[in-house]
Structure 1
């Protein structure tokens, strides 16, 4: 496992320019304080120069030279602090230009007035820092080319398997080409106004025996551990929180792909993957919506959505069009990234060597979601070998480990996540139910018997 965890605001926009400017101001103040200290020390040097005979007699040995050296060091520290402040301001200009350019190209709803405002701001920054625009361009180009590299390298490890089909020599190059194509087409990003087209198949959900624990998760690792799937027949888990004031909140955990075959009885299959990725409503999406409804969630209720792989595609669309107040969206290894609004805390965990997360195409170049939203990435399985064909970087176990690393991180962007767990942990009561899901023929209508 790699311990290098990269936490940033978005795919390309990694640093908040205002945080750099704030740091620059602190260094500028420190430089000014040091300059004033230097003036005081210089005054001491002059004073000591006036009593040189006393110093030479041995009463104040070498003090003039010591004070002068201190003044010189203070002057150097002051200059270094001011120089660092200027470099931070330059870096802020570069990052802001990147952010403005991605906003201009990404937000089609900005309108002519906003586009003109963006253009004027970029011109002002470029005028103040002539090289900032060129460095911003280099950063943009580097991100677009570099993000698929880790997966292409991992493809080398699967050569012994792919060589049987004669495709090994071309695999890394093909991976890079595919990744750049996905990014160029924007296939892995979902605009805020996107809506799924009607389903061609439907789903039935069945409540299972109440699982344990009936308590709020205390960490991202616990969230990952609660995502259904594997040996369990559960596909969707819903937790209903009754708060101390009588209000309700819900948490939904949605499984990833469980059946490789297309058109299986399990709606969490490859058919649903293709449908969701191409903008069609899947039976697995319908199953998730029905599970929330069966658990008592109503339009406008607060929902915290957690999903892995296909489940993350489902929760992304749920946040955009489900009709709930989706205040939290956490995805593990999602093949898409949704442009959720400022009311949603968006946290995306993805591995750079995960071929499913690779389908995001690098995600949105700028950050999505509300304040505190972030993307956390790492290389999960750096060892090369035939085992790479089993996609070790995509499994929920690897993402649970990444979640543990985030839980232990001192990064301030984890504060809203911890606040969420504290909030849910204060609930007066918690009710939990899990649901299995079955694909049914078109035209099926929900009936009694505890199914829907």
Structure 2
């Protein structure tokens, strides 16, 4: 649909190896056509047109010459794009590893510099690609919110500068993008969970909007686990983790303290601990297949559950995620985010090369088209706004949405399904 964008995410939207192969194929065709042109030019009368019986062969040879030149430019240009995208991909990967593995990051930067030295124009092109990607990732937030204007402290131009400075500060933290293999640091948390069997659909979600609606939001529960017993005796699990809650008595695990621990400290939070405990209580153990869905803080929790390695995570669906993680090629990642959502902006514009399986996707839209005090209240981050975007994505007809439905539909084969919600409390 026109007001959402569905892509693989990142600055790198193409396969550089495919580009190189395409360039090679064009070059091979060009060489063959150039050989034909040379042979034709050896025919007497082609160049001076004195052999009337040759008809239009002279004109055709000239046209062939122009075609060869055009294809030669296409082959060169395609190879240029391959180099530019590869340099951008390497530099984006280096930026991702800068804090977790600085030695590897420096080695990658040296590789990128060597490519740029060999092809300086491609090096400049890569810089433009990365700059355009970063600008597009934050443009919605900068242009849409205008917080400083709303607070009556500045005009629109200054408001945009304030918003841009905030985005730069977020990027400077380097916490939004999470490299593959990252694990939360262990931390001691004493939490209790109380299960509540719930009624509801007897099968898996029908799509994104249905998945979002199953995330606990009303009542005391913060986590939902659906258990599917498959015909072969295996058990699969669907986890739904909810967003931040503001408790007054200090017993709420889904509080701002947990947000800080997950995002800034990258340590296990009480909410993360409670989520793992809920999975264990539902019967999930090491190596079991689970799929995870999360909103806001729950999106960050779901991301780290997938990265932890305890479970085999096939699908990660997040709404308003403050982080973007590098997932393996067999994990389908579906990130729904609003360009004017401050929480999504914390991810810093996702990953330079996208992430996850080929059918993974980033679904972007504007959560709150109007400007007003609702921006200060994070209207673009609200569940209802994400529900609207999810519904648009479901109706988009994009084949990647169909691929997600097919993943969920695998659970339709289950012979039994049990849904349990869990109420967690700090001790």
- TM normalised by structure 1 equals 0.77
Q: CA deviation at 1:172?
A: 3.2
Give a deviation string over 1:62-83, Cα, whole Å, max 9, x none. x946x77666656545543442
| 1:376 counterpart (363, 374, 377) | 363
- Name the count of aligned residue pairs: 421
- Answer yes or no: is the 8 Å Cα contact 2:97–2:105 preserved in 1: no
CA RMSD of aligned residues (A): 3.9
Q: CA deviation at 1:136?
A: 1.7
Task: Note if 1:156 corresponds to 2:123.
Answer: no
Distance 1:177 1:127, change over 3 A: closer
What runs of 5+ residues in structure 2 fail to find an aligned partner? none
Alpha-carbon distance in structure 1 between the residues aligned to 2:307 and 2:224: 20
Alpha-carbon distance in structure 2 between the residues aligned to 1:113 and 1:354: 32
Alpha-carbon distance in structure 2 between the residues aligned to 1:206 and 1:223: 20
Distance 1:266 1:118, change over 3 A: closer
Distance 1:403 1:72, change over 3 A: farther
SS in 2 for 1:245: coil
Q: CA deviation at 1:311?
A: 0.7
Task: Note if 1:277 corresponds to 2:272.
Answer: no
Name 1:140's counterpart in structure 2.
130
Task: Note if 1:174 corresponds to 2:173.
Answer: no
Task: Note if 1:5 corresponds to 2:5.
Answer: yes
Whichever of the two has the greater Rg, that structure is 1
Q: CA deviation at 1:354?
A: 0.8
Q: CA deviation at 1:377?
A: 2.8
Alpha-carbon distance in structure 1 between the residues aligned to 2:235 and 2:415: 10
Give a deviation string over 1:114-154, Cα, whole Å, max 9, x none. 9658735752x335533111222333344445532321222
- Answer yes or no: is the 8 Å Cα contact 2:96–2:178 preserved in 1: no
- Answer yes or no: is the 8 Å Cα contact 1:41–1:70 preserved in 2: no
Q: CA deviation at 1:234?
A: 4.0
SS in 2 for 1:304: strand
Alpha-carbon distance in structure 2 between the residues aligned to 1:130 and 1:276: 40
Name 1:60's counterpart in structure 2.
none
| 1:226 counterpart (199, 214, 222) | 214
Distance 1:142 1:50, change over 3 A: closer
1:190-339 to 2 correspondence within 5 Å? 190-191=178-179, 192-200=181-189, 202-212=191-201, 214-229=202-217, 231-257=218-244, 259-261=245-247, 265-278=251-264, 279-321=266-308, 323-339=310-326
Alpha-carbon distance in structure 1 between the residues aligned to 2:241 and 2:328: 21
- TM normalised by structure 2 equals 0.81
1:410-421 to 2 correspondence within 5 Å? 417-421=404-408
Name 1:15's counterpart in structure 2.
14
What runs of 5+ residues in structure 1 fail to find an aligned partner? 54-62, 443-452
Give a deviation string over 1:206-258, Cα, whole Å, max 9, x none. 3132222x1123433332333221x455432222223332222211111222x
Q: CA deviation at 1:16?
A: 2.5
| 1:431 counterpart (417, 421, 425) | 417
- Answer yes or no: is the 8 Å Cα contact 1:263–1:270 preserved in 2: no
Q: CA deviation at 1:370?
A: 5.0
Q: CA deviation at 1:17?
A: 1.4
SS in 2 for 1:98: helix
Distance 1:418 1:137, change over 3 A: same
SS in 2 for 1:148: helix
- Answer yes or no: is the 8 Å Cα contact 1:349–1:377 preserved in 2: yes
Q: Which moved more, 1:353-362 or 1:1-10?
A: 1-10
- Answer yes or no: is the 8 Å Cα contact 1:7–1:374 preserved in 2: yes
Name 2:110's counterpart in structure 1.
119
Alpha-carbon distance in structure 2 between the residues aligned to 1:398 and 1:72: 60
